[in-house]
Copies of this chain bind each other. A is one copy, B any other.
């Protein structure tokens, strides 16, 4: 199936510059584009890459007029490019078959209208699902789990008992929510586990990444605030209270009883000591190791986590330390020499 560049311009309601009659067979980013593809470039700094890439056309924002290939100008290049990609490679749609006969659904589970439960999914006692949810194959919703409306749970995710999930939440494959908190007391040489009477509570519009784990609270909730997005392989320990609209990147580890404000950002592999409090809009750089509370609007870096500027000054000084050692030894010699001269003079 070949389409003309003019058709593409029309599809995205864009302004065509160049020959609309050339055939376009696909859409790909600059790095991957082959002849016949249309690509995208959102800044003029990509002109060089456009010149050397194989794409036959490019979609750009108003104000950037690339040279060397025909282009289409649009208001929102990402929205438009998504439309073009979807035109060439239409996304698959979830089929609306209701509750599969091959799902394991307890007699006391309640399923909302237009909700899909796929083969091999498990719904325990007293599970309650809202409307228009999709529960994929192999998902385990243990007893008492509640989902709001329009929730999607991808395959093999596990929600332990009594997990409460808001509306429009996405939970990715193999995420585990509500596992036991990791709290022990050493009694007569053995580690005795703490109470596991709590649960996990997830607000609206949250996204939970693949293989992410969130432990239940000891007595009450571990909670994830509305609008917060959690990447893959993040660990949130028991009793944490994560604020609203946080962004938490992959492999971050949040120890027990931490709290975060709203709009906090944690980059990859960040670690938080238990009971730390992170202020609103704080930013924690990749691999930061947080051992103290962080104020609002601060950016922290390093292990242990340190205000950004302070850390950079320290690292810069460390970089120059080997040279400074040499200079220091030179100075020691010079002072010793002066000492000898002075002593001689005094003699």
| Contact assessment for A32 and B220 in the assembled complex, using a CB-CB cutoff below 8 Å | yes
A322 near B331 with CB under 8 A, answer: no
Complex partner residue of A211 from B32, B190, B211, B255, CB under 8 angstroms: B211
Complex contacts, A315 vs chain B, CB 8 Å: 304
Q: Tell me, yes or no, whether A113 is within 8 Å of chain B by CB.
A: no
Q: Does the CB pair B125–A92 fall under 8 Å?
A: yes
Cα distance A287–B304 in the bound complex, in angstroms: 10
Return the CB mask of A138-179 against B: 1 if under 8 Å, else 0: 101011100000000011101011100000001011101001
| Identical subunits present | 3
Do the beta carbons of B341 and A179 come within 8 Å of each other?
A: no
Q: Inside 8 A of A299's CB, which chain B residues have their CB?
A: none
Closest to A231 in B: B182
**A253 touching B235 in the complex, CB below 8 Å, given contacts A156-B140, A219-B27, A247-B184:** no
B140, B197, B213, B231: the one contacting A232 at CB < 8 Å is B213
Closest to A142 in B: B155
Q: Which residue of chain B is the closest to A89 with respect to CB atoms?
A: B197
Q: How far is the CA of A193 from the CA of B169 in the complex (A)?
A: 12
Tell me which residues from 246 to 300 in chain A have a Cβ below 8 Å from any Cβ of chain B: 247, 249-251, 253, 255, 259, 268-269, 271, 273, 286-287, 289, 291
Establish whether residues B174 and A219, one from each chain, have CB atoms under 8 Å apart when the complex forms: no
Residue A98 interfacial (CB < 8 Å): no
Interface of A is mostly: loop
**Which residues of A, 304-347, contact B by the 8 Å Cβ criterion?**
304, 313-322, 324-325, 327-328, 331-332, 334-335, 338-339, 341-342, 345-346
Interface string of A213-236 (1 = CB under 8 A from B): 101011111000001010111010
| Residues from chain B with Cβ under 8 Å of A132 in the complex | none
Among A48-56, A64-72, A202-210, the stretch in contact with B: A202-210
Report chain B residues within 8 Å CB of A255.
249-250, 268
